[in-house]
Amino acid sequence: MASKLLSVLKGLGDVIGYLVDLLVLFDFLTRRDLLSVLSGYVGNIAIYLYDVIVILCLAAAVTVPFYVGTKYKDWKGAKKLTKPTSKPTGTEMEAFDASELVAKYPWTKLLPDAKQDIVIFAVACESISHYGDLLRQLLETNKDLTITCAFMEPYVTKTAEREEGWTGATASASASLKRLETAKEQMGESERNRFAIEAYEGPVPFNMVVLDHQTENAYMQVGYYPRGIDQTHRITNVFRKKGRETLFRKYWNEYKAFCDEWACSHY
């Protein structure tokens, strides 16, 4: 913006220089005193410059806030006035790879916000299986909360490991199931009854985490698996049901259809 303003002022200087040259030429041709000629034009030049300055100020008043608003959140050295929220709101949607997702939405900050239910589907179960104490604490604190961890039977992952290139998927699924079973065994009876571990015999279509699916502000993470590469390279979209209910219901219904289609073992 500053460079553009300097360019405009330089152009005005050139214009004034041309005007002076014309006045000198006019004086030479008419043999009139140059000062008398300038006295007739100085008022008009002053008015012209004043108009130009006013126009530039108005243009700056309109364009600068727009420019800053598109680049930053405020005027103070491009610092954000508000802290970033831990979860998206409204119709906002975010996309992350696996490492970015863990960094921005760790289980310890995300799951405590659930009031009714938590559904963790597919490879996300491998991650949450390391947080057995957190799952137990959530169920003990909120007697209305239910938690479901659903993924492929370990022996089914052998096919995905071979065909999709998911190296180590079978060993990971087996270890995850064992950790989740151990966590459930350490829970009280009430907590065990509200903690479901489901292993399906079909290939999961996507990875998903859902909080409070029946509420208007339900939260969802969903990501497909890139074919032929490691499953941790998936891209996950994060959004809320509010403002994106059609998309939310699409994935939720696909998840329920998968559960209805394939045989399931409960642990």
What are 145's two structure tokens?
């909360």
Predicted local distance difference test score (pLDDT) of residue 192: 97
Of 27-31, 151-155, 157-161, 192-196, the one with minimum mean pLDDT is: 27-31
Q: What is the mean pLDDT of residues 48-77?
A: 52
More confident residue, 176 or 22: 176
pLDDT of residue 225: 64
Burial-class residue 151 by CB neighbours within 10 Å (0-12, 13-18, 19+): buried
Check whether 169 has a pLDDT greater than 90.
no
Sign of the four-CA dihedral 31, 36, 38, 43: negative
Architecture in CATH of 94-266: 2-Layer Sandwich (3.30)
Return the higher-pLDDT residue of 34 and 96.
96
Q: What is the pTM of this model?
A: 0.64
Q: What is the pLDDT of residue 229?
A: 53
Give yes or no for residue 250 having a pLDDT over 90.
yes
Q: Backbone phi, then psi, for 237, in 5-degree steps? A: -95, 140
Picking from 123-137, 168-182, 225-239, which range would have the lowest pLDDT averaged per residue? 225-239
Query: What percent of the chain is predicted at pLDDT more than 70?
Result: 59
38 vs 76, residue with greater confidence: 38
Q: Is residue 128's pLDDT more than 60?
A: yes
What is the reported pLDDT for 4?
55
Q: Please state which of the ranges 101-115, 141-155, 165-179 shows the lowest mean pLDDT.
A: 165-179
Which of 2-11, 45-54, 140-149 bottoms out in mean pLDDT, i.e. has the lowest? 2-11
> Residue 204: pLDDT above 90?
no
Domain ranges of the chain: 2-71, 94-266
Q: Regarding predicted confidence, which is higher, 61 or 189?
A: 189
